[in-house]
């Protein structure tokens, strides 16, 4: 069972970007945690990052996954294109965020993509991704 993990814009800056908000782990370190946890669950995770909305849409449209875990980052609040790609893929997805988007600036509490996902996990730092893997495993076994 293949899980595609997509990290949106600016997440390549993790570790140095606003560590009080996002923590000190780098994206590479988070990806290592994701791949290890997926392996423990009998899943295969592929992690991708892009600052480009079109590239993210392309990854989703390629459909090379059974389950999608996506952190659209800033595109959460702006991208109908990513929302529509998730809906068109017809595959289960979970939206994740490192920080609790509902405790931040008001514009961050709106998500275009959450409505086409089976759920949203936010505010648990890197564990948000690991919790999403547990959801993926349970959902794919139904």
**Tokens standing for residue 74:** 């800033």
97 carries an active-site annotation:
yes
* Of 102, 120, 108, 126, nearest in space to 26 by CA: 126
CA-to-CA dists, residue 137 to 35, 38, 51, 132, angstroms: 13, 9, 28, 9
Give Cβ neighbours of residue 48 (< 8 Å, ≥ 6 apart).
4, 5, 6, 7, 59
Q: Starting at the edge strand that comes first in sequence, how are the strands of the sheet with 93-97 ordered?
A: 44-49, 2-7, 67-71, 93-97, 119-122
Identified catalytic residue from 22, 75, 112, 129: 22
Give Cβ neighbours of residue 58 (< 8 Å, ≥ 6 apart).
none
22 carries an active-site annotation:
yes
Annotated active-site positions, please?
Answer: 22, 97
């Amino acid at each position: 069972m293949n899980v595609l993990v997509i990290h949106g814009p600016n997440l390549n800056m993790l570790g140095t970007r606003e560590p009080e908000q996002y923590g000190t782990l780098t994206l590479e370190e988070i990806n290592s945690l994701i791949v290890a946890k997926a392996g423990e669950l009998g899943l295969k995770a592929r992690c991708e990052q892009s600052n480009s909305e079109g590239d993210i849409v392309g990854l989703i449209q390629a459909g090379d996954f059974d389950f999608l875990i996506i952190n659209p980052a800033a595109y959460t609040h702006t991208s109908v294109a990513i929302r529509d790609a998730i809906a068109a893929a017809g595959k289960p997805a979970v939206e994740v965020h490192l920080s609790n988007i509902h405790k931040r600036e008001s514009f961050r509490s709106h998500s275009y993509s959450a409505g086409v996902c089976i759920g949203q996990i936010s505010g648990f730092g890197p564990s948000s991704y690991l919790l999403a893997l547990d959801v993926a495993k349970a959902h794919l076994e139904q």
